[in-house]
Amino acid sequence: MRTNKETPHRSELDEMLLELTDRIAPGCCLIATPFLKIKDDPMFARSVVLITDHDPLEGAMGLILNRPARQSFQEIFPDAHTFLNIEAPVVVGGPVEQVVGYSLITVNDEFDAVETLPSSFLQVSPGVYRSHPDEVFKSQEEGLISDDQVRYFCGASGWEKNQLESELEHGAWILISGLAHRCMQWEVKDVWRNSLRCLPDPVFQLWSMLPHYPEHN
C-alpha cells in the first residue's frame, strides 16, 4: 500500500544520489562483480538485480533487469491475446518460477503516479512500481501507461536465509541504492555497464570495460 509521504519530482528521480550500502532492502540493486562464479550461476553473470522483497528470516527475492527473454511477448503471456499491440520488452527475471509473470512500471513524476496508477501498483523504489501483469495489461489498454514505461518478466531470483548476505561477503555483488529508476530507463543490453559507470570508484569503471570472458584474453 502506498503511503502519503512526500515523493521526489522528476528531476530528483533522475538525479537521485547513488549510495553503496550493506543493508539489503527492497528497492536496492545488486550489480554482479567479475568475481561472481559464472560456472555456478551463468544466468547471473553481468546481471543487475532489483531486490523486491527481503526478510532476514526468510531470504530475498528480486528480478534480473538485463537478461532478455528468447521467447516473444505472446509466447510468454498467451492470455494477453487481446493486447497484441504491446511491445514492451520481456526479461528473464531469474531461474525461479519461470512460468510465472511479473512486471515493473516506471514513472517520472510520483505525484502524477498517485493520480493515474491503480492502488494495486506497489512502489518498490522511487519511480518504480510493480504489479501483476494482468493489471498492467488493463492499464495499458486504458492508456494509463505506455509500453516504454513497462518491463515484463518471466521468472524471478530467490535467495534463502543468509544466502545473499554470504554472497555479498564473498564479493559476488555490489549492493547499491538509488539505481533502480535509472536502470529502467536504459536499454536492457546496457544496464550492467551503465550501472558500473555510474559509480565513482575508478575500479568500477575498469570492470565495465572488461571483455565478457576475461580469462579468454
For 129-150, how does the pLDDT look when each residue is reduced to its tens digit (9 = 90+)? Answer: 999 988 988 888 888 888 889 9
Domain-located, residue 3: no
Nearest one of 14, 24, 7 to 176, comparing CA atoms: 24
How many Cβ atoms from other residues are within 10 Å of residue 76's Cβ? 20
Q: Please, are residues 135 and 121 in contact by the beta-carbon 8 Å criterion?
A: yes
For residues 53-68, average pLDDT:
95
**pLDDT for the residue 2:** 35
**pLDDT for the residue 80:** 67
Domain-located, residue 36: yes
Domain-located, residue 89: yes
The pLDDT of residue 15 is above 70: no
- Nearest-Å Rg of the Cα atoms of the chain is 17
Domain-located, residue 4: no
Domain-located, residue 129: yes
Range of the domain at 136: 10-216
What is the spatial distance between Cα 68 and Cα 83, in angstroms, rounded to a whole number? 20
Looking up residue 40, the CATH number of its domain turns out to be 3.40.1740.10
Nearest one of 104, 131, 127, 101 to 118, comparing CA atoms: 131
> Three cell numbers at 139?
492499464
3-state SS, residue 214? helix
Q: Specify whether the backbone of 48 is left (phi greater than 0), alpha (psi in -120 to 50) or beta.
A: beta
Domain-located, residue 184: yes
Using a 10 angstrom Cβ sphere, with 0-12 exposed, 13-18 middle and 19 or more buried, the burial of residue 56 is exposed
Residue 134 one-letter amino acid: D
- Quote the pTM value: 0.85
Q: How many domains in the chain?
A: 1
| 183-188 long-range contacts, CB within 8 A, separation 24+ | 183/29, 183/48, 183/50, 183/65, 183/66, 184/65, 184/104, 184/106, 184/127, 184/128, 184/151, 185/106, 188/65, 188/66, 188/67, 188/68, 188/89, 188/91
Domain-located, residue 1: no
Domain-located, residue 122: yes
**pLDDT for the residue 50:** 98
The H helix count followed by the E strand count for the chain is 8, 10
The pLDDT of residue 114 is above 90: no
